[in-house]
Every structure is written in C-alpha cells, then in structure tokens.
C-alpha cells in the first residue's frame, strides 16, 4: 500500500559549519539530499514527495531534481523552525487519504525495508516512528541532582515518522495555536494523547549534523 513522503530540507546546517546548507554536501558521488531522494523516488509505494526547501536553495534544489530526473517531487518553501517546515509540507499534500511519512532530508541512509515495516505498522496501529535502542547509559541532570534512566526503556527517535494524514495535520494545528514547539512530530501527537508505536530501525540511519557525521557517512558509502 501507498504513502506520501514529506522530506524537510529547509534548515541551514549551522552545526556543519560548511557555509552552505549541508543538504548539498557531497557524500561519495552524490549530494546528501540526493541520497535521501533516491530512496523515496525508487520506492514504488511512495506516491508523492513533498520536498521542503528554503528560498535561498530553491534554484539549486530544482536543478538537482532536473539533473537526476527525479519523478513525483513537489518543491515547497519551509519555515523558521523544523516544525514550521513540516507544517508547510503537510499543507501541500495532494492525497489526504494516504498515510504521510515525515522524514529529515539529513538522514540519507534510511532503508527501504525500514520504511516498509513502518508503513505496515501505521496501517495496523496508526502513528509510528523508527527508533533504535539507546546504547549509552543516559543520565538526567535536573535541579542539581543526577539520576540514571533505565536504559531498557529508552529509544533514540529517528525519521521517518508516519501518521494518518488528518491526525498529524490536526496535531500540528493545535500545537501552532498554543505556540508549542517540539523537536519531532511524534512529540506533537504524544502531547495530544495520540498513541505512537515504535518500529525498530537501523543504527545506520544517522542524521548528518556535524563534520564528524559527514566523515562517517563518507566512509559508510565508500565501504558500500
Ligand atoms: N529543517 C527544515 N526547516 C528548518 C530547520 C530544519 O526543514 N527550519 C530540516 C533540516 O533541513 C534537516 C532536518 O530538518 O533535514 C533536521 O534538522 P537539523 O539536523 O537540525 O538540520 P539543520 O537545521 O539544517 O542544521 P542546524 O540545526 O545545525 O542548523
Ligand atoms: Mg536544526
């Protein structure tokens, strides 16, 4: 069964310190965002891709789409925060009957098999996200007191995160009305008491954030 992808790439990549949006940095033979777009353009169950970009990058993004002859992509302008960019993307979705997968442009190594599992889970149980068990011991430092969280209960959230369209659109609208901002979309659904399931993803599905991540990504691609 099918889905829509909203891919957010409208950030500035400040922590990468590259002087331009990290989406255009090369990983092996292709720019970062091209790796990401290849996964979704090649997935026959992905019906439409809403690619969210900032105005400054629009011409370069358009050029990439033409160079690689990517099908089914609509280019949309993003907003100030990631959450604003997702919302702009959601408003542009054509088929509101399909589930929507929200994905970071900066996660180029998501596997088609993970996407498949996620979509199956959404169909069965509604909202779901990819995540991996935390491998570090996570400490909480709060009000001058250190506590150790139970690692067995902790998961590192990734994207894609998938939702029935109307559910996540409504969660975004309610959050906007209250000025509530979160770092991922599942947090919005959670805050309005929608249940979100976890689908175990892969440790390879990293978000490229720092120069060190770009190094890792490059060796990952070179090793195949
Ligand atoms: N993003 C977006 N719109 C924004 C901010 C972020 O579409 N206003 C996207 C980024 O392009 C990225 C994803 O959200 O694909 C995850 O964000 P992050 O890794 O923080 O990327 P940047 O915001 O670009 O990087 P930084 O925070 O270092 O500036
Ligand atoms: Mg950011």
> pLDDT tens for residues 153-208?
999 999 999 999 999 999 999 999 999 999 999 999 999 999 999 999 999 999 99
Spell out the residues 6+ positions from residue 104 whose beta carbon is closer than 8 angstroms to its own: 7, 8, 159, 207
Ligand nearest to the CA of 15: 1
Ligand 1 mean position, distance from CA 136 (Å): 24
Give the whole-angstrom CA distance, residue 174 versus residue 195: 16
Ligand 1 test: best mutation among 7, 106, 160, 212, most atoms within 8 Å of CB?
Answer: 106
Dihedral sign for Cα atoms in the order 72, 77, 81, 84? negative
Spell out the residues 6+ positions from residue 152 whose beta carbon is closer than 8 angstroms to its own: none
106 lines ligand 1 (CB under 6 A): yes
Give the whole-angstrom CA distance, residue 66 versus residue 9: 17
Full DSSP string of 83-113: HHHHHHHHHT-S-TTS-EEEEETT-TT--HH
Number of the ligand 1 atom closest to the C-alpha atom of 15: 28
Query: What is the domain count for the chain?
Result: 1
Average pLDDT, the chain: 98
Domain of residue 183, CATH code: 3.90.550.10
Ligand 1 test: best mutation among 11, 13, 77, most atoms within 8 Å of CB?
Answer: 11
Task: Give the domain extent around 73.
Answer: 3-223
Give the whole-angstrom CA distance, residue 176 versus residue 6: 18
Ligand 2 mean position, distance from CA 115 (Å): 23
Q: String of b and e for 193-204 (b: at least 16 CB within 10 Å)?
A: ebebbebebeee
Ligand 1 mean position, distance from CA 15 (Å): 10
Ligand nearest to the CA of 159: 1
> pLDDT tens for residues 134-151?
999 999 999 999 999 999
> pLDDT tens for residues 53-67?
999 999 999 999 999
* 33 contacts 23 by C-beta, under 8 angstroms: yes
52 lines ligand 1 (CB under 6 A): yes
* 99 contacts 162 by C-beta, under 8 angstroms: yes
12 lines ligand 1 (CB under 6 A): yes
Two tokens, residue 18: 């590259």
Ligand 1 mean position, distance from CA 17 (Å): 13
Ligand 2 mean position, distance from CA 13 (Å): 7
- Say what the pLDDT of residue 23 is: 98
> ipTM score of the complex?
0.99
């Amino acid at each position: 069964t099918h889905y829509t992808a909203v891919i957010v790439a409208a950030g500035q990549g400040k922590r990468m310190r590259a002087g331009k949006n990290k989406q255009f940095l090369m990983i092996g033979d292709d720019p970062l965002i091209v790796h990401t777009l290849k996964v979704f353009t090649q997935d026959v169950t992905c019906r439409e891709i809403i690619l969210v970009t900032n105005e400054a990058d629009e011409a370069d993004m358009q050029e990439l789409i033409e160079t690689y002859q990517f099908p089914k992509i609509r280019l949309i302008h993003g907003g100030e925060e990631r959450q604003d960019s997702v919302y702009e993307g959601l408003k542009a979705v054509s088929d509101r009957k399909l589930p929507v997968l929200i994905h970071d442009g900066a996660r180029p190594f998501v596997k088609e098999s993970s996407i498949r599992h996620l979509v199956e889970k959404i169909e069965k149980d509604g909202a779901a996200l990819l995540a991996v068990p935390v491998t570090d011991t996570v400490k909480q430092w709060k009000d001058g007191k250190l506590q150790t969280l139970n690692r067995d209960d902790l998961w590192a959230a990734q994207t894609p995160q998938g939702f029935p369209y109307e559910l996540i659109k409504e969660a975004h609208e309610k959050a906007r009305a209250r000025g509530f901002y979160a770092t991922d979309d599942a947090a919005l659904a959670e805050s309005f008491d929608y249940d979100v399931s976890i689908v175990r993803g892969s440790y390879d599905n990293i978000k490229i954030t720092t120069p060190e991540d770009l190094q890792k990504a490059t060796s990952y691609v070179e090793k195949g």
